[in-house]
Structure 1
Amino acid sequence: MEFFVEFDTQVPDATPESEVSDRARAEAAAAAELAAEGHLVRLWRPAVSGKVVGLYRAESAPQLDGLLRALPMAGWMRVTVTPLEAHPNDPADRAGRSARRQESGVGNQLPEPRLDQIWRLEATLGDALDVGDTTEGHRRIVPLTAGTFSGPELSGKLVPGASADWQIILADGTALGDIRYTLQTGAGALLYVQSRSIRHGTTEVLARLGRGEDVDASEYTFRTATQIETAAPELGWLNKGVFVSVGGRQAGRVVYETYLVA
């Protein structure tokens, strides 16, 4: 435990100077011994008062009381002890925790993630089904009718009839997507892909996208958090991956580049 201790020393009147000097030397020696034992951490003399304050460590308040009563000048001092508790914002405490983690072999440095591209999907779009204003917002369903994908390890085609983007369009034109599509690899494995997306930009750019115009992807933001499911044993790593995608909306089609966060 740590304690904040205040010492108010009052030397009795008519005390010989020799006794004061002797006790002061003995007090200094006792302080050095307490410091060596780890009980005395710091001592200060505030500029605005004659008191001395210190930071002490002890197993308990009774142990500290015994240590202070044994000081050579204890009979001349009025002592106030305040037990201390750790504060979550204490920088020394954070540094100590970091040092303890390093001593225990647990480092504080986490690995930096990297992005490995899995595929680029280019898909054509059918006519949007405008559901209208619902409790969630303006609902549109945009079918993905055909497409192909390719990447370093995977390639294949989009399965029509099992792929669409269930969109909510906000008042400012921002599109929130629930994109679900099915892919089939060249080896015949089926991949079910679900992405939660957001597409936003300036009012003018979003209006052009809403009209189905071909807008460069650098003029707006289109990102997704993606999850992939498959029953193919050789592609089981897809079930355990964390994926993100970058999207681009073009006239009559959409492009998704999907990355594994490694």
Structure 2
Amino acid sequence: MATARFFVTLAGCVTLVAVGVVVGNASVRDRLIQHVQVAGWIKPITEAAAVVETKAEAAVARAIVVDEKVEAQQRHVTQYLARRYRVADDAVRVLVAAAYDTGRELGLDPLLILAVMAVESSINPLAQSPVGAQGLMQVMTRVHTDKFEPHGGEHAALDPIANIKVGSAILSDLIRRGGSVERGLQLYVGAGNLPDDGGYAARVLNERGRIAVAAAGRVDAAIVAGLRGSLSATGKPAVAQQDVAVPEPSTATQPAGKADKAV
């Protein structure tokens, strides 16, 4: 028993001596304090990093879901357009992807872009009109030569991707100028100063409605609707206008006339 008390006393003395050495040695003391402080920082930093990592993983998961949804939409739209206008799937797939990319860049509804392509050229990239309109979106090349310069000049009018980009940029600008999709379409077809557009805007919006039906996975229903003309029989847009992405109107006040005509 006495021996045990001796060793306990000895251990206590050694501890006191060690503490005294640490306290008496400024360098050792500072390092010990720094170690304790760093240890205190590590926990909140680690916890914060874990939270950031969790949020990043969630964001990636959401992005994957969105990408998969967009891919599915594009696949269905491709099927519809290929069947409706009798164009090869592979060719249409490229055009659909380009319309989606361009729409994202411009803040313009890609289905509206595709609808204009369908109405204007029946998805024919080599289409040309007697008045000089060319390509998928029937852009008046001689009027918009400058817009083709970044794509290699006016000869790029028959390049499908260049035509989509230029035609979509013109359409986006006219929608902003006109203040609505319908007015923008009227300006696009060159009916800005005419009493009516001959039903052009309604045809485009009805086709946009059919494409939207296809994008939702109902390709056969969209095909049937197109063949029967059931969505265009009333002459009214098939889709509510809040479903169409409309850029904010600009402050431009220049009146639209024949010089704005894209087709």
Structure with greater helix percent = 2
TM-score, structure 2 as length reference = 0.23
Work out which structure has the larger RCO, using CA pairs closer than 8 Å and 6 or more positions apart in sequence: 2
TM-score, structure 1 as length reference = 0.23
Structure with greater strand percent = 1
